Amino acid sequence: MITFMNNSDSEEEPCNERTSLMSAESPPVPSYQDGLQTAEAGEAQAHRKRRTGSSRSPNNIADGDVSDLGVPVRESALENEEEELTLKYGAKHVIMLFVPVTLCMIVVVATIKSVRFYTEKNGQLIYTPFSEDTPSVGQRLLNSVLNTIIMISVIVVMTVFLVLLYKYRCYKFIHGWLILSSLMLLFLFTYIYLGEVLKTYNVAMDYPTLFLVIWNFGAVGMICIHWKGPLQLQQAYLIMISALMALVFIKYLPEWSAWVILGAISIYDLMAVLCPKGPLRMLVETAQERNEPIFPALIYSSAMMWTVGMAKPDTAARGASQQTWDAAEDGGENPLHADSQMSETRSPGTTRPITSFEELEEEERGVKLGLGDFIFYSVLVGKAAATASGDWNTTLACFVAILIGLCLTLLLLAVFKKALPALPISITFGLVFYFSTDNLVRPFMDTLASHQLYI
């Protein structure tokens, strides 16, 4: 989902994945996608709340001194500017999202094409118990549909579970869950991935070196994602774990199930974000009521990081509540700091927010995209690369389709200005293009190429 805060159900997949692989050894780890969504929802809502109720928000105690008159006037004057800025920066944001999505897809496609491990069928997840090696087409279809239903219901259950956890304020639990999941992802999957890549290129690496490399990678990753770190590094890590997750999916989901799951996920995404009773919507509203910061990790943010300084928390809080939700990176941490420092900076803070708010307009703002979206986009393109016989044409077609879908979704986001699901449009385009390119365009292009004709 794209939101200026995106909630993507697919976040759940990582945890499910992990648990399935680890099912023999450890108790199931609930998905952190929900945590992510909660977090994102919280942030978005917190920001929204701060924006609309800036004079009343507890974060902006200092602003309370600002007259209420000042606030509405400023807000309306700013609204127009914000509208323009939205669309002026719109292109920039689109590119800021294009680049990581492209990178993730490139990593996945490159790995699929070169490392054969990920295209071998070595078993399935426990979440997709029905095999697809059945003799008849009807049976296969039935099995894939059943697989999908199971997978989706697992996701729904996880999401609801997380909503409940969030509602009842079991934050420690969610934090622990998130940390455990990302730990497993960073260490275990990286180990497997590295092992396979080294195998493919026939490079020998001894265990101590391997241990060192993976330990460093994982430790830095944990710090970057869950705590503070340079923005680019955090983005890079998020891209890498999305790619790893997507690779695992591509390997372990049987073919037809994968396509049906992709379709079903986008429909679920649509419903969960937009329906009033959808779990994600409820998350968002709950977090909004509580005006709470979100959990770090599991959303990709393209914005510059705010430095946490004296005046900044005010502006961060205010700026983050831009109409377009272009929220600052690390918004999760900042509101906390803002709260603690707000009381100290009460008097100087009153005058500063007004001026620094204008300054904010010039600074970088970003768009947030859920990691699950990355994962599913990459799954689509990776599957296209792995299973299509038209190879690169199909992959390229899916890639362009997904990017265009992303563009359109961002456009809608700029128009509607609230959390939107990022999956449906892109996945629909991607699926349409995949199937049509594979079946229609490929014979055409092959025939053309064999006669060396050009169109």
Partner 1 sequence: PALGLFLFTIARDPLRIIILIAGAFFWLVSLLLSSLIWFIAVKASDPQDEPLQKGLLIFGVMFSVLLQEAFRFLYYKLLRKAIEGLVALSEDGCSPISIQQMAYVAGVGFGLMSGAFSMINLLADALGPGTVGIHGDSQLYFLTSAFMTMVLIFLHTFWGILFFHGCEHRRWWEIMAVVVMHLAVSGSTFCNPLYMGSLVPSYLLMAAAATWAYLLSGGSAQNLRRFLLCK
Q: Give the active site residues.
A: 269, 373
Question: Taking Cα atoms as reference points, which of 102, 4, 72, 37 lies closest to residue 280?
Answer: 37
118 contacts: CB under 8 Å, gap ≥ 6: 111, 112, 196, 247, 250, 251, 382, 386
Question: Tell me, what DSSP letter sits at residue 101?
Answer: H
Shortest Cβ 446–partner 1 spacing (Å): 8
Cα 22 to its chain centre, rounded Å, is: 23
Name the residue type at position 391: D
CB of 396 to partner 1, least distance (A): 6
State the Cα–Cα distance between residues 10 and 21, nearest whole angstrom.
17
User: CA-CA distance, 370 to 262, in Å (whole number)?
Assistant: 16
CB nearer to partner 1: give 133 or 362: 362
| Alpha-helical runs (H) found in 54-69 | 61-64
CA pair distance 351, 345, nearest whole angstrom:
11
Q: How far is the CB of 385 from partner 1 (least distance, A)?
A: 11
> What's the min distance (Å) between Cβ of 442 and partner 1?
8
Question: For partner 1, which is the closer residue by CB, 249 or 429?
Answer: 429
Residue 13 or residue 82: which is nearer to partner 1 going by CB?
82
390-410: buried (b, 16+ CB within 10 Å) or exposed (e) per residue? beebbbbbbbebbbebbbebb
- Pick the closer one to partner 1 by CB: 71 or 403: 403
Return the closest-CA partner of residue 51 out of 321, 342, 314, 315: 321
Residue 408 contacts residue 46 (beta carbons within 8 Å): no
**Cβ-contact 328, 303 below 8 angstroms:** yes
State phi, psi for 361 to the nearest 5 degrees.
-60, -25
At what angle are helices 371-387 and 392-416 packed, to 10 degrees?
A: 160
Q: For residues 283 and 403, which CB has a smaller minimum distance to partner 1 in the complex?
A: 403
Furthest CA-CA distance within the chain: 78
Comparing CB distances to partner 1, the nearer of 99 and 142 is: 99
Q: State the alpha helices, DSSP H only, in 321-436.
A: 333-342, 346-362, 371-387, 392-416, 423-436
CA–CA distances in Å: residue 141 to residues 372, 381, 388: 25, 22, 19
CB 378 within 8 A of CB 398: no
Neighbours of 277 (CB within 10 A): 8
Is the Cβ of residue 123 or residue 443 nearer to partner 1 in the bound state? Answer: 443
Q: Judge whether 324 and 364 are in contact, CB under 8 Å.
A: no
- Give the footprint of partner 1 on this chain (CB under 8 A): 83-84, 87-88, 91-92, 94-95, 98, 390-393, 396-397, 400-401, 403-404, 407, 433, 436-437, 439-441, 443-445, 447-449, 451-455
Instruction: Provide, rounded to whole angstroms, the least separation between the CB of residue 304 and partner 1.
Output: 16
Q: State how far the alpha carbon of 166 is from the alpha carbons of 50, 111, 448, in Å.
A: 20, 37, 57
Whole-number minimum distance, CB 302 to partner 1, in Å? 12
Nearer residue to partner 1 within complex by CB, 244 or 397: 397
In angstroms, give the least distance from the CB of 107 to partner 1.
Answer: 18
Q: How far is the CB of 129 from partner 1 (least distance, A)?
A: 36
Cα first-last separation, the chain: 38
